[in-house]
Amino acid sequence: MVKLLDFWAPWCGPCRIMNPVIEDLEKELEGKVEVVKINVDEKPDEAAKYEVMSIPTYLILKEGKEVGRKIGVTGKQDLLKLING
């Protein structure tokens, strides 16, 4: 299954802006894409593992390998392109 990793933090303004977009994608792609929200304050090791230097960062994993990455506020269509790419 394809995974969308969402690296975020509660204090991050851009992360809050993106939250409705991610929730919308999660509903739209239910059963096709697993959305995993990773709070970088609670799981700094996960952020380090994927070399996440700023948030929000979105990673697309297929078969456990990174196939796409988007950093910062972005549109839903851009994330869909990454997922379907």
> Which residues are tagged catalytic?
12, 15
Nearest to residue 19, comparing CAs of 85, 68, 74, 66? 74
Nearest to residue 2, comparing CAs of 44, 27, 31, 23? 31
Amino acid identity of residue 78, one-letter, is D
